[in-house]
Protein backbone atom coordinates (compact mmCIF):
# COMPACT_ATOMS: atom_id res chain seq x y z
CA UNK A 1 0.00 0.00 0.00
CA UNK A 2 1.52 3.38 -1.02
CA UNK A 3 2.23 5.95 1.64
CA UNK A 4 -0.24 8.79 1.82
CA UNK A 5 1.13 12.13 0.80
CA UNK A 6 0.54 15.03 3.17
CA UNK A 7 -1.75 17.70 1.77
CA UNK A 8 0.03 20.58 0.08
CA UNK A 9 0.69 23.55 2.34
CA UNK A 10 -1.83 26.33 2.42
CA UNK A 11 0.03 28.85 0.32
CA UNK A 12 -0.74 32.36 1.51
CA UNK A 13 0.85 35.54 0.16
CA UNK A 14 0.60 39.22 0.96
CA UNK A 15 0.70 41.81 -1.83
CA UNK A 16 1.41 45.17 -0.15
CA UNK A 17 1.12 48.65 -1.58
CA UNK A 18 -0.44 52.05 -1.26
CA UNK A 19 -2.68 51.56 -4.33
CA UNK A 20 -3.38 55.30 -4.62
CA UNK A 21 -5.19 54.50 -6.91
CA UNK A 22 -5.25 50.86 -7.99
CA UNK A 23 -4.18 50.56 -11.64
CA UNK A 24 -4.34 47.83 -14.27
CA UNK A 25 -0.70 47.10 -13.40
CA UNK A 26 -1.68 46.32 -9.81
CA UNK A 27 -4.62 44.22 -11.01
CA UNK A 28 -2.26 42.28 -13.30
CA UNK A 29 -0.11 41.33 -10.29
CA UNK A 30 -3.23 40.47 -8.26
CA UNK A 31 -4.59 38.25 -11.05
CA UNK A 32 -1.28 36.42 -11.35
CA UNK A 33 -0.84 36.15 -7.58
CA UNK A 34 -4.36 34.76 -7.19
CA UNK A 35 -3.42 32.00 -9.66
CA UNK A 36 -0.22 31.17 -7.75
CA UNK A 37 -1.50 31.15 -4.17
CA UNK A 38 -4.38 29.59 -2.28
CA UNK A 39 -5.01 32.93 -0.62
CA UNK A 40 -3.76 36.38 -1.57
CA UNK A 41 -4.11 39.26 0.88
CA UNK A 42 -3.85 42.70 -0.70
CA UNK A 43 -2.46 44.80 2.15
CA UNK A 44 -3.25 48.49 1.74
CA UNK A 45 -0.67 50.66 3.44
CA UNK A 46 -1.38 54.07 4.87
CA UNK A 47 0.60 56.73 3.03
CA UNK A 48 2.57 58.91 5.38
CA UNK A 49 3.45 62.48 4.56
CA UNK A 50 6.83 61.68 6.11
CA UNK A 51 7.50 59.40 3.14
CA UNK A 52 7.10 62.43 0.88
CA UNK A 53 3.71 61.35 -0.39
CA UNK A 54 0.32 62.88 0.21
CA UNK A 55 -2.42 60.37 -0.66
CA UNK A 56 -5.20 61.39 -3.01
CA UNK A 57 -7.55 58.74 -1.64
CA UNK A 58 -8.05 57.93 2.03
CA UNK A 59 -7.14 54.49 3.29
CA UNK A 60 -10.83 53.59 3.41
CA UNK A 61 -11.41 54.79 -0.17
CA UNK A 62 -8.45 52.77 -1.44
CA UNK A 63 -9.68 49.66 0.37
CA UNK A 64 -13.19 50.13 -1.07
CA UNK A 65 -11.84 50.59 -4.60
CA UNK A 66 -9.67 47.48 -4.28
CA UNK A 67 -12.52 45.40 -2.89
CA UNK A 68 -14.62 46.41 -5.87
CA UNK A 69 -11.83 45.57 -8.31
CA UNK A 70 -11.07 42.17 -6.73
CA UNK A 71 -14.65 41.04 -6.06
CA UNK A 72 -14.36 38.40 -8.80
CA UNK A 73 -11.47 36.61 -7.10
CA UNK A 74 -12.65 34.06 -4.54
CA UNK A 75 -9.21 33.74 -2.95
CA UNK A 76 -8.31 37.45 -2.72
CA UNK A 77 -9.03 39.62 0.29
CA UNK A 78 -8.20 43.24 0.98
CA UNK A 79 -7.08 44.47 4.39
CA UNK A 80 -5.46 47.56 5.87
CA UNK A 81 -1.77 47.18 6.60
CA UNK A 82 -0.83 48.38 10.06
CA UNK A 83 2.70 48.15 11.40
CA UNK A 84 5.54 46.11 9.94
CA UNK A 85 4.81 44.15 6.79
CA UNK A 86 6.48 40.98 8.09
CA UNK A 87 4.42 41.14 11.30
CA UNK A 88 1.25 41.55 9.20
CA UNK A 89 2.27 38.57 7.05
CA UNK A 90 3.01 36.42 10.10
CA UNK A 91 -0.33 37.37 11.74
CA UNK A 92 -2.19 36.36 8.57
CA UNK A 93 -0.32 33.07 8.11
CA UNK A 94 1.47 34.22 4.96
CA UNK A 95 4.81 32.76 3.99
CA UNK A 96 5.35 35.01 0.98
CA UNK A 97 5.43 38.73 0.26
CA UNK A 98 4.49 39.24 -3.39
CA UNK A 99 5.74 42.28 -5.30
CA UNK A 100 5.55 43.44 -8.88
CA UNK A 101 8.60 44.86 -10.63
CA UNK A 102 8.43 47.30 -13.54
CA UNK A 103 12.08 48.18 -14.08
CA UNK A 104 15.60 47.71 -12.75
CA UNK A 105 15.13 50.80 -10.58
CA UNK A 106 12.26 49.01 -8.78
CA UNK A 107 14.55 46.06 -8.11
CA UNK A 108 17.18 48.07 -6.26
CA UNK A 109 14.67 49.42 -3.74
CA UNK A 110 12.79 46.12 -3.43
CA UNK A 111 16.01 44.17 -2.94
CA UNK A 112 16.91 46.29 0.09
CA UNK A 113 13.38 45.84 1.45
CA UNK A 114 13.57 42.07 0.96
CA UNK A 115 16.86 41.89 2.85
CA UNK A 116 15.42 43.90 5.75
CA UNK A 117 12.27 41.77 5.80
CA UNK A 118 14.41 38.62 5.85
CA UNK A 119 16.44 40.06 8.72
CA UNK A 120 13.24 40.75 10.66
CA UNK A 121 11.46 37.50 9.77
CA UNK A 122 13.59 34.87 8.05
CA UNK A 123 10.72 32.45 7.44
CA UNK A 124 8.88 34.83 5.10
CA UNK A 125 10.07 34.85 1.49
CA UNK A 126 9.85 37.70 -1.00
CA UNK A 127 8.65 36.78 -4.48
CA UNK A 128 8.77 39.14 -7.43
CA UNK A 129 6.83 38.99 -10.66
CA UNK A 130 7.66 41.14 -13.62
CA UNK A 131 4.82 43.42 -14.59
CA UNK A 132 3.34 42.57 -17.97
CA UNK A 133 5.01 44.62 -20.69
CA UNK A 134 1.80 46.52 -21.45
CA UNK A 135 1.85 47.95 -17.89
CA UNK A 136 5.60 48.37 -17.38
CA UNK A 137 5.38 52.18 -17.52
CA UNK A 138 2.27 52.46 -15.37
CA UNK A 139 2.30 53.94 -11.88
CA UNK A 140 -0.33 55.45 -9.60
CA UNK A 141 1.58 58.73 -9.71
CA UNK A 142 1.38 58.91 -13.50
CA UNK A 143 -2.30 58.00 -13.46
CA UNK A 144 -3.03 60.78 -10.97
CA UNK A 145 -1.15 63.27 -13.13
CA UNK A 146 -3.06 62.24 -16.26
CA UNK A 147 -6.35 62.52 -14.35
CA UNK A 148 -5.40 65.89 -12.85
CA UNK A 149 -4.71 67.26 -16.32
CA UNK A 150 -7.94 65.83 -17.77
CA UNK A 151 -6.35 63.09 -19.87
CA UNK A 152 -7.91 59.82 -20.98
CA UNK A 153 -7.72 57.07 -18.36
CA UNK A 154 -8.90 54.18 -20.55
CA UNK A 155 -6.41 51.32 -20.47
CA UNK A 156 -4.84 52.62 -17.26
CA UNK A 157 -7.55 52.03 -14.66
CA UNK A 158 -11.02 50.54 -14.53
CA UNK A 159 -14.10 52.68 -15.19
CA UNK A 160 -14.88 52.68 -11.43
CA UNK A 161 -11.42 54.00 -10.56
CA UNK A 162 -11.59 56.54 -13.42
CA UNK A 163 -14.90 57.80 -12.01
CA UNK A 164 -13.38 58.10 -8.53
CA UNK A 165 -10.47 60.07 -10.00
CA UNK A 166 -12.85 62.39 -11.86
CA UNK A 167 -14.71 63.03 -8.61
CA UNK A 168 -11.41 64.08 -7.01
CA UNK A 169 -10.20 66.27 -9.88
CA UNK A 170 -13.47 67.29 -11.52
CA UNK A 171 -14.58 66.63 -15.11
Alpha carbons within 13 angstroms on the beta-carbon side of residue 51 total: 8
| b/e code 49-58 from CB counts within 10 Å (16+ = b) | eeeeeebbbe
**In tens digits, what is the pLDDT along the chain, a chain of 171 residues?**
555 655 555 699 999 999 999 999 999 999 999 999 999 999 999 976 555 678 999 999 999 999 999 999 999 999 999 899 999 999 999 999 999 988 777 788 888 888 898 998 888 999 999 989 999 999 999 999 999 999 999 999 999 999 999 999 986
According to DSSP, residue 49 is labeled G
According to DSSP, residue 23 is labeled -
The CATH number of the structural domain formed by 12-133 is 3.40.50.620
Q: How many residues does the chain have?
A: 171
**Residues taking part in catalysis:** 26, 53, 102, 140
> What are the residues facing 44 on neighbouring strands?
17, 80
In whole angstroms, how far apart are CA 19 and each of 61, 80, 154?
A: 10, 11, 18
| Cα–Cα distance for residue pair 34/88, rounded to 1 Å | 19
**Among the listed residues 96, 166, 146, the one whose alpha carbon sits nearest the alpha carbon of residue 125:** 96
Domain boundaries, given as residue ranges, for the chain: 12-133
Amino acid sequence: MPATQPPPPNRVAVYPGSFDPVTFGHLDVIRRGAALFDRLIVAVAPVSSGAGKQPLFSLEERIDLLRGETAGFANVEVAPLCGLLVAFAREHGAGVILKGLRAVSDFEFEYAMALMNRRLEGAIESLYVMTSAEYSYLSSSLVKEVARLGGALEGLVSPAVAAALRRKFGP
